Amino acid sequence: MTSSTPSSDHSADGHLARSLGHGQMAMIAMGSALGTGLFLGSGEAIGIAGPAVIISFALGSLIAATVALAMGEMASRHPVRGGFGTLAARYLSPFWGYLSRWLYWIVTVCVTGAELVACAAYLAYWVPAVPIWAGILLFAAVIIAINLASVGSFGVVEFFLSSIKVIAVFVFILVGAVLVIFGLPSQPAAGFGELAADGGFAPMGWGAVWIALSVVMFSFGGIELLSITAAEAKDPARSIRTAARTTIVRLAFFYVSAIGIVLCLVPWRQAAGTGEDVATSPFVMVFDRIGIPGAAHLTNLLVLIAALSAANANLYAGSRILHSLASDGLAPRLAAKTTARKVPLVGIVASSVGLIGAAALAFSGVGGVFGYMMSLVVFAVIMVWALILITYLAFRRRRVEGATFRMPGGPISAVVGLIGLLAVFATVTVSSSMQIAALVGVPAVLLATLLYFTVLRGRVDPADTRRPSSRPSRCADPGSPIRRRGVRYCVPDAFGLGVLAGVP
């Protein structure tokens, strides 16, 4: 048992370190969301809707914006361990806080595995002899090593990786725009003819724009890190305010513009790929098609870095959400302990299950591994985002003060976001991949619910669900939490908010 007095040895005290800088937080959120969904998964979305997928990405960005801004407003007021899950427990009920965090952990596990499947596919572009499963294990070793370092080291590495891909996408858009509008001395301007050259702008019908959302929403998964990283930010108020405002704008611009460039330069049927697993990125196809020497190899390197960065960020998120659950008695207590570097070792190891699962599926020769994992992620993300928006409505209904910014439109925007999420969920009636995801996701939710009400509910004190108080905290500092039935509660004193909540 650890002592409550300060000590130089906190190797297993369960506390996380506030080591992430302002720029690192913004880039980590970008790093998680700007990855395989754009560079590899976009091929499947293009195959569903054709050029009209541009509208699907625009609609997806609007839905994601409501979630990011709602989450940012709440996190700027409560920068707590467990992020949106802790807030759901506070403003809705302990059950919803438990379920949202477990669902998000499933999301991070699947996304990490899917991103490494993409990394292995990009590696095979250069070295076809290397099997996918071997590539997955190789890159898994890399991101596990990065996450086992201190959170400060993780932040530096992720900032570097995210910066590379943000700059790369921006340069891709600029170069692509030149090729589309002006052309090269040896290459005439491509123009916009490809957008309607094969069956028109919406060759699969306008209903396909809706169906494509079931794939497109995978692309925006990862914005949740705005809330998760708040617990380890040096200056959460400033970082969350800036990240929430800029991240979704950048993502919308990157996704819509980049997909538009691809579809202007490559026939949409070719960009869609021919199988369940897209062997190469549509972005690589662009430079392969126009024959710029070495450009395709450079692009392949950049999209590999993008996928590796997203996998790295999601492994981080999964380990932190599991650490939060364990700290609140809703997961094995062992996962609440941290190393001398304030890293949740058990959480990292447990969250690596997706890496092993992806490698095992690839080794077994099961086809469509990437597509299946994407579908399950979309199913879980929709539920998590819906809970975030419902939590936000409860947050605003209680008129909580102290947030450093407000979401434009407030509750009205949140309701619009919920309607959008319901529309995406409704694709389960026509999308085979979503139906498969539901066959896995629904039993998982039912099992988690049964586990909570039969085993875990007694570990949560009903008194802790009361309305947040405006009275000063009884905690001397974030390192001396109030304990009720083993659950830590304290006030993040960086704001002097005096609100009882899970502390990092």
**pLDDT value at residue 51:** 94
Q: How many CA atoms lie within 13 A of 158 on its CB side?
A: 38
Average pLDDT over residues 273-280: 46
Statement: residue 310 has pLDDT above 70 = yes
Q: What is the predicted pLDDT for the residue at 7?
A: 35
User: What pLDDT shows up at residue 389?
Assistant: 95
- Residue 61: CB atoms within 10 Å: 21
> What pLDDT is recorded for position 402?
65
Percent of the chain with pLDDT over 70: 74
- Show the tokens assigned to 387: 């809970």
The helix (H) or strand (E) run that includes residue 483 is strand 482-484
Residue type, 432: S
| Domain boundaries, given as residue ranges, for the chain | 22-457
SS3 assignment, position 79: coil
What DSSP letter does each residue of 276-322 carry, written as one string? SS-SS-HHHHHHHHHT-TTHHHHHHHHHHHHHHHHHHHHHHHHHHHH
pLDDT > 60? residue 471: no
Which neighbouring-strand residues pair with 490? 501
Residue 201 has a pLDDT of 92
Q: Which pLDDT tens digit goes with each residue over 337-393?
A: 877 777 888 888 888 887 887 777 777 766 566 666 667 777 888 899 999 999 999
pLDDT of residue 29: 65
Average pLDDT score over residue span 261-283: 70
Q: What is the rounded end-to-end Cα distance, in angstroms, of the chain? A: 19
- Residue length, the chain? 504
Find the range with the poorest average confidence among 45-54, 136-145, 153-162, 271-280. 271-280
Class of the CATH domain delimited by 22-457:
mainly alpha
106 neighbors 376 (Cβ within 8 angstroms) = yes
Q: Confidence class of residue 41 from pLDDT cuts 50, 70 and 90?
A: low
Kind plus residue range of the DSSP H or E element containing 47 = helix 42-49
Mean pLDDT over 312-317 rounds to 86
Mean pLDDT of 432-448: 83
Residue 233 φ then ψ, to 5°? -95, 140
- Lowest model confidence (mean pLDDT) among 92-101, 228-237, 464-473: 464-473
Which whole number is the average pLDDT over 124-144?
A: 89
Contact present, 380 and 441 (Cβ < 8 Å): yes
pLDDT beyond 70 at 436? yes
Coil, strand, or helix at residue 488? strand
Q: How confident is the model at residue 63 (pLDDT cuts 50, 70, 90)?
A: very high
Q: Counting beta carbons within 10 angstroms of the beta carbon of residue 163, is it exposed (0 to 12), middle (13 to 18) or buried (19 or more)?
A: middle
Mean per-residue pLDDT of the chain = 76
Determine which of 12-21, 60-69, 230-239, 451-460 has the lowest per-residue pLDDT on average. 12-21
pLDDT of residue 1: 38
Would you state the structure tokens that stand for residue 180, as one six-digit string? 């589309």
The percentage of residues in the chain with a pLDDT greater than 90, rounded to a whole number, is 15
Q: CA angle, 204 as apex, 199 and 208 as ends, to 5°?
A: 145
Question: pTM here?
Answer: 0.80
Distance CA 2, CA 339 (A): 13
The residue ranking higher by pLDDT, 181 or 294, is 181
The more confident residue out of 390 and 298 is 390
Q: What are phi and psi of 4, to 5 degrees?
A: -85, -10
CA–CA distance, 214 with 218 (Å, rounded to integer) = 8
385-414 tens-digit pLDDT: 999 999 999 999 987 776 667 888 999 999
More confident residue, 57 or 498: 57
Judge whether 158 and 309 are in contact, CB under 8 Å: yes
